[in-house]
Every structure is written in structure tokens, then in C-alpha cells.
Amino acid sequence: MGTYAIFDGISTAEQERMFTCFQPVKQQFSTGETVMRYAGTLQKIGILLSGRAHLSCVDAQGRENRLEQLGPDDVFGEMFTLPMESLHYFVTAETACEVLFIDYAHVIKRCEKACAHHSQLVHNLFCMTAHKSRMQTMHLSVLSQRTVRLKLLTYFELLCRYVPGRLPMSYSALADYLSIDRSAMMREIKKMKEEGLIRIEGKRVELL
């Protein structure tokens, strides 16, 4: 599965000229700090330059659900996951992070010079939106499974297909992502290993 960097096809010199138009803001965040709270309208695009973070939402009952793991070059913001009114979406730093913020209005408003790199950036954003939509569809296909085992098998199958079988998160984070109890998940993983269905070494996962 291809991934798309927001500045693909845009040279360093063009990026510098583009920043003059977009007026981006670079910020540092510490572990556990809230990087962004989503609004009900399209406001900002965040680009994770370094570190790790995750997108979560809190439902009406106060339950927090992990939606997406974020690493360097990943983007986030309302245009990728427009919040429902009853849910609260936010991005949290898992490690020290550096983030570049761009106002959405600067991206959609064509600059007076009609720069080619502006069109390239918009193209990249469309590609990234399509990629995120596919990832969200995959997440839904995992969550739709009725048992802990089926959720794990579906997730591991997708993981081995697209990310050479390396867990991108901790087991606690995985339990949150799959919306299952961590203890129940670990018991099921143990059974699956004993039955010869999977092999796990560190964060490396292999379906047998």
C-alpha cells in the first residue's frame, strides 16, 4: 500500500517559497501532551515532522477510542476525519514531537502567483485523504469482527500484508485500537501461539 508525503514532488526551494504564502507554525510537544483538538469545521492541517502520536475520540459515555497511530510524515486534522458533533477528537503525543501546522484556508486559497507547487500540494493532500479513507475502512473491517480472535486474526492478516508484520504500537495501544480488553487479548494471543496460528517475536508478527 503506498503512502504519500505531503511535500512529494515539491523541492526544498519551492517549499520555502510556499511557506511564505502558507505561514505555517512549527511547535514542539512533550510526551502525553495534547497536540490538537478537532473542531467541527475545517481549520488546520498538522504534519508530524518527528516523534509518535495517536488520534483518539471520546464518545458520549466518556469512553476513549484509539483511531489512528501517527508517525513522521503523517498528517492529521479535520479534513481527514471530520468530527461528529457528539464525539471529541484529539491527537496526543506518545513521544516528544515536532509538528508543522498549516491553516486549511491557506491551502485551498490559490495564491496570486498560481505556483505549480501549490497544485502539487493539493494533489498530495487528495492522495493522502484517499489513503486515510482506506486505512479507516480497514479499521472498520477489523472492528466488525465478532470475537477477540477474529479481530486479532483480521488485524494481523492486514498487518502482514501491508506493513511486513511489525506491530506499530504497544499491546495496550493495540487493545484500545481493537476495542477489546487487554487481558482477554493477551490470553487469546497466547492460545493462538500455542495452536500454531501465529508466531510473535518482540513486535514481529507472522501468520503460520
Specify the pLDDT at position 114. Answer: 59
Q: Could you tell me if 29 and 123 lie in one domain?
A: yes
Q: Could you tell me if 118 and 183 lie in one domain?
A: no
Mean pLDDT of 38-63: 84
Residue 166 lies in a domain: yes
User: Where is pLDDT greater, at 129 or 71?
Assistant: 71
Out of 86, 109, 135, a domain closes at 135
Q: Could you tell me if 34 and 121 lie in one domain?
A: yes
CB 131 within 8 A of CB 157: no
Q: Could you tell me if 112 and 152 lie in one domain?
A: no
Residue 172 lies in a domain: yes
CATH number of the domain residue 53 falls in? 2.60.120.10
Residue 160 lies in a domain: yes
Torsion sign over Cα 51, 172, 162, 34? negative
Specify the pLDDT at position 3. Answer: 47
Q: Could you tell me if 125 and 51 lie in one domain?
A: yes
Q: Is the pLDDT of residue 127 over 70?
A: yes
Interval 140-198: pLDDT, tens: 889 899 899 999 999 998 888 876 777 888 898 899 889 899 999 999 999 999 999 98
Out of 108, 135, 162, a domain closes at 135
Q: Which domain holds residue 108?
A: 12-135
Q: Whole-angstrom Cα distance, residue 196 to residue 66?
A: 29
* pTM of this structure: 0.73
Residue 101: C-alpha distances to residues 44, 159, 160 (Å):
7, 30, 32
User: Where is pLDDT greater, at 31 or 41?
Assistant: 31
- Number of domains comprising the chain: 2
Average pLDDT, the chain: 84
Q: Could you tell me if 22 and 117 lie in one domain?
A: yes
Interval 73-101: pLDDT, tens: 888 988 777 556 657 889 999 999 999 99
Specify the pLDDT at position 139. Answer: 87
Q: Could you tell me if 92 and 129 lie in one domain?
A: yes
Percent of all residues in the chain with a pLDDT value above 90, rounded to a whole number: 31
